[in-house]
Structure 1
Amino acid sequence: MTSTTITVRRARTSDVHRIRSLVAPLADERILVAKEAVAYYEGLQEFRIAEGPDGEVIGCGALHVMWEDLAEVRTLAADRRWRGHGVGHVLLEALLADAVEIGVQRVFCLTFEVDFFRRHGFEVMANQSAVDPEVYSELLRSHDEGVAEFLDLARVKPNTLGNTRMIRTL
């Protein structure tokens, strides 16, 4: 089981059940936040799927655009049996390629996996000056929980305690 036997493709509606099953154990451990099925369907176009050599869905990840030059890597998850075999790497590389393709210049993540993201060029954010004050005030109007997490708003503190905010310039 190596990254050479892993393929990455766009997610399909038929993948939502598997995405939820990949997220569930990580949500139980408070590493990821579980969402209702409708949220996955609504954001499906943001997702990439990793498949093993037999076509089994073994991982997922999403890229959510937050602003003109800023996106967030979300819901990066691998099947436990495939952890340590490059699933996260190939998914993250695909998501970063998507970011470049659509014109995003910076990618953010909120993670417990600091070393993994460091190996992929992300740095711990020293402060929230990643966006200028005008953009910050625009982002405050968003109803998206990920944007609230990025802005470090008090209403999301219970969901984000212990996570590290990281960013990478492309």
Structure 2
Amino acid sequence: MIYRKAKFEDVEAIYELVADYAGQGVMLARSRNTLYETLRDMVVAVDEDGSIAGVGGLHIIWDRLAEVRTMAVAPDKRRRGIGAEIVRRLIEDGEVLGIEKYFTLTYQPEFFKALGFEVINKEELPHKVWKECIDCPKFPNCDEIAMVKV
């Protein structure tokens, strides 16, 4: 497995992977436009045949605060440590920048708990976090679980 920064040619595969999970209701959808805008935030896992096996993004929100988001691993590649390695690399990138606190909004709390994240009340997150939520179809009735790692 090769882990690297996402590239333009990865966007369609990332879009399809995320859309599949979003269709199942286990992750929020991301538009192609959003994927292009956040391309520099993403790390991908690429299989030996060149296909995208997983993706994750680290989006800086505020002073020393970043969100781990757009986390998805291809269904046939799950339970191989790919997601955990992507998160590890995202946090490593964040540490270089001086990030001190990471959060995620997720439907998969057990995955993030195994990586040292803890469940918190959404209200504990700064208001800056919610600026993108206004475009979400679930706003204002968010049912994702907020988690942090310090």
- TM-score normalised by L of structure 1: 0.79
State the shift of 1:128 in Å. 2.6
Instruction: Say yes or no: does 1:26 pair with 2:9.
Output: no
Structure 1 residues 129 and 49: CA distance shift in structure 2, 3 A: same
State the partner residue of 2:106.
111
- Shift of the 23–127 alpha-carbon distance from structure 1 to 2, 3 Å rule, reads closer
Amino acid corresponding to residue 58 of structure 1 in structure 2: A
- Say if 2:64 is the partner of 1:69: yes
> Gaps (5+ residues) in structure 2?
none
Pairing 1:144–2:132 present: yes
Counterpart residue number, 2:93: 98
Whether the 8 Å contact between 2:5 and 2:40 is mirrored in structure 1 is yes
1:152 equivalent in structure 2: none
Identical-pair percentage: 30
**What is the RMSD computed on CA atoms of the aligned residues?**
2.0
Matching residue within 82, 85, 110 for 2:80: 85
Aligned partners of 1:9 and 1:63: how far apart in 2? 13
TM-score, normalised relative to structure 2: 0.89
Q: 1:165 aligns with which of 139, 143, 146?
A: 146
Structure 1 residue 94, shift from structure 2 partner? 0.7
Give 2:34's aligned residue: 39
Partners in 1 of 2:20 and 2:52 — Cα distance? 16
TM-aligned CA deviation for residue 95 of structure 1:
0.8
Distance in 2 separating the partners of 1:123 and 1:35: 25
Work out the CA distance in 2 between the residues paired with 1:9 and 1:61: 11
Structure 1 Cα separation of the partners of residues 11 and 49 of structure 2: 19
What amino acid maps onto 1:164 in structure 2? I
Aligned residue-pair number? 148
Q: Secondary structure at the match of 1:71?
A: strand
Gaps of 5+ in 1: 1-5, 150-154
Question: Using a 3 Å threshold, how does the CA distance of structure 1 residues 33 and 127 change in structure 2: closer, same or farther?
Answer: closer
Q: Distance in 2 between matches of 1:52 and 1:35?
A: 22
